[in-house]
Amino acid sequence: MIDNLVRENIRKLKPYSSARDEFKSAASIYLDANENAYKILSNETVNRYPDPHQQKLKEALALLKGVSPKKIFLGNGSDEIIDLTFRIFCEPAKHNAIICVPTYGMYEVSAQINNVEVKKVLLKADFQLDVEEVLRNADDNSRLLFLCSPNNPTGNIFKKEDIELLIANFKGIVIVDEAYIDFSSFPSRIESLNNYENLLVMQTLSKAWGLAGLRIGVAFGSERLVQWFQKVKPPYNINSKSQELAISALENKRVFDEYLPRILKARSLIFQKLQDFPFVLDIFESEANFLLVRVKDAYALYNYLASKGIVVRNRSKDEMCNNCLRITIGTEKENLDLIKALEAF
C-alpha cells in the first residue's frame, strides 16, 4: 500500500551494493573494499568501513524499545531521516508536505532544499493539533505530515487520539517526531506501530541520551517502510565510532537513568522560580528539556542574558510565539546562574 506513495525513480532504483553487502560472513583476510590494511591510529579499527546495516546498534535499540531490528532505521541525525522522507516520497515541484506550526524548523528547510511545497496549519490556541484543518488542507499530492510531539518550541505533547485520527485518515506518511519523548510522562507512539503501515516514529540520541555530537537519529516504522529508507540511504551513513559509542551508552543505561530525573527536577524548579518574575507573562507546561516562556520584551531579555554570557533561544518570530524565549534546562549550576541573572534583570 505505501509502495504507491514512493517516487517512481526510487521504486526503479537499483541500490548500491557495498563490499560488505556482498560478503556477509566472517573471513580472516579482507581484500574486498580497497581499505588501507594498516592502522594509522594504532588503537583504532577506523581503517575499516563501518557496518552499513548497523546491526549491533539496532539490536541494542531493539532490546531497549521492544521493537524488532527490522523496524528500525538509523540516520546521521534525525535531520538525515527528515531529508530522506522527502527524497523517497515527494516528487519535487509536485507533491507537498503538511506541518503544524509553530514547530521544528528543519521540516520546512528540508522541504525547500528538495523543492517540495509546504502547507502550514496553525496549532490551536492551546498548542494542540487542529485535526480538521490538517485534513482539510491535505490533497491528492500531500505525501508527508510532520507531527512533533513533544513539540519544539512549545514543549507540549499532542493528544494520542488526535495523532491516531491523523494517521488513520491522512493518505500519506505520518512522521511523529519524538526527539523529546524521554522527558515526557506520556507513552511513545511506538505503541501504535503495529496498527499502521504509514507511521514513522522518529527519535534521536541527541537529547535525553546526551549524544548530540555522534549524530544518531532513530526511526521506527513498518518493515516495508524501513526497507525504503535502507534502499536510499548512503551506505555508510553512521560512522564506526558513533556506532561503538552509542552501543556503550545504551549498555550503560544507569548513567541515563541518573541524569534524566535531575533534568526533570530542574525543569519544575525553574518553572516555579520563573513565576516570581514580574516580566514573565506565561510559562508553558513542558514535556521536554526546555521551557517556552513569554516575557514582556523578549529581545531586551535575550540581549541582557547574552551580555551575562547566557544564551537562550528567541522564538519571537515563530507563529504564536511573540515575545517567547525557549530556555534549555542545563546543569544545576547553570540553572542557578540563570536564575541569579534573571533576579538582577
Ligand X SMILES: *Cc1c(COP(=O)(O)O)cnc(C)c1O
212 binds ligand X per the rule CB under 6 A: yes
Shortest spacing between CB 269 and ligand X, in angstroms: 22
Q: Quick check: 188 binds ligand X (CB under 6 A)? A: no
Contact flag: residue 209 with ligand X (CB under 6 A): no
Residues 6+ apart with CB under 8 A from 304: 341, 345
Print the binding letters for residues 128-157 with ligand X: x by CB under 6 A, - otherwise.
--------------------x---x-----
Among 73, 86, 89, 104, binds ligand X (CB under 6 A): 104
Residue with cell string 531586551: 300
226 binds ligand X (CB under 6 A): no
Candidates 98, 145, 174, 177: give the one binding ligand X (CB under 6 A).
177
Alpha-carbon distance of 106 to 83, in angstroms, equals: 9
Asked if 208 and 289 count as a contact pair (C-beta separation under 8 A), the reply is yes
The C-alpha atoms of residue 17 and residue 70 are separated, in whole angstroms, by 19
User: What is residue 304's DSSP assignment?
Assistant: H
What CA–CA distance (Å, rounded) separates 146 from 110? 12
Instruction: Kindly tell me which of 212 and 255 has the beta carbon lying closer to ligand X.
Output: 212
Binder to ligand X among 147, 163, 179, 327 (CB under 6 A)?
179
Q: In whole angstroms, how close is the CB of 217 to ligand X at the nearest point? A: 4
User: Site size for ligand X, by CB under 6 A?
Assistant: 13
Instruction: Report the residue from 51, 59, 79, 108 that binds ligand X according to the rule CB under 6 A.
Output: 79
64 binds ligand X (CB under 6 A): no
Residue 166, interface with ligand X (CB under 6 A)? no
Sequential DSSP letters for 219-285: EEE-HHHHHHHHHHS-TT-S-HHHHHHHHHHHHTHHHHHHHHHHHHHHHHHHHHHHTT-TTEEEE--
Q: Which region among 13-21, 28-36, 51-59, 202-210 touches ligand X (by CB under 6 A)? A: 202-210
Handedness of CA 50, 51, 56, 57 (dihedral sign): positive
Q: Does 289 bind ligand X (CB under 6 A)?
A: no
Q: 172 or 217, CB closer to ligand X?
A: 217
- CA dist 147 → 37, 218, 345 (Å): 46, 16, 36
d(C-alpha 68, C-alpha 174), whole Å: 20
Please state the closest distance from residue 201 (CB atom) to ligand X, in A.
Answer: 12
Distance CA 55, CA 191 (A): 23
Query: Which positions touch ligand X (CB under 6 A)?
Result: 77-79, 104, 148, 152, 177, 179, 204, 206-207, 212, 217
